[in-house]
Amino acid sequence: MSVPSQTLRAFMLQLAIGNKNYSSWSLRAWLLLRQAGIPFEEIKLRLDLDAGSPFKQRLAALGAPTGKVPLLLDDGFAVWDTLAIAEYVAERFPQHQLWPADAKQRARARSLCAEMHSGFGALRSACPMNIEAPFPEVGKKIWAGQADVRADVQRIDAAWSALLAEHGGPFLFGERFGVIDAFFAPVASRLRSFALPVSAAALAYVDHLHQLAAFREWTQDALAEADFIAFDEPYRTHR
């Protein structure tokens, strides 16, 4: 989605992302900006893990030393890694209150984002984000056979349920969408795609995230891609 040239001159934010059907880390940064109403120019790249690929070359030219997405550019200044992007955006646009105002609640939100950033490897590996394709039968097999996936989901469910009960929802820290909701959005997508069992409170949160205008926009774009990337599709041979 393009933004007016005068807006780009004022903000100079650009966000490089991968395929919307697959790129969970791109979704986090993109959703944070879009849901907050922060203008930016989208730079969409086709995911490719091969060294020397056009994907890697373009990211290197943009200033991403890791060769990964997302990458935020602020008037040419590069910020890579989704958590660093979230922190930078929150400081750059404090009026959007993307972290809780209370120091202890802010620390809790940051702890959970860091847990998401470095953890839940079993769920992320077994159930890769795929906006376009439902895999309920695969989800049943994974749930029955992989205790580590069940443990990841149960930990996430417990964390969500506690926060929703404490703050009253619909977001994890109350009425305002924040960094933590952006970080767990791809998890919500995975839970829906693989039909993994969660509590009623967690399911309502999943549904609420999917109803956000920004999430619906991302989903529509993902469905329109008509692209198939084999390394991101372990459960089928074509789209």
| pLDDT top residue among 238 and 135 | 135
For residue 56, pLDDT beyond 50: yes
For residue 239, name the pLDDT band (cuts at 50, 70, 90).
confident
Which of these, 206, 212, 185, lies nearest to 113 by C-alpha position? 185
Domains located in the chain, CATH noted: 5-96 (3.40.30.10), 103-223 (1.20.1050.10)
Q: What are the tens digits of pLDDT across the range 22-33? A: 999 999 999 999
For residue 81, pLDDT beyond 50: yes
Q: What are the tens digits of pLDDT across the range 182-222? A: 999 999 999 999 999 999 999 999 999 999 999 999 999 99
Percent of the chain with pLDDT over 70: 95
pLDDT mean over 65-91: 97
Task: Sheet with 41-44: list strands edge to edge.
Answer: 41-44, 13-17, 71-74, 77-80
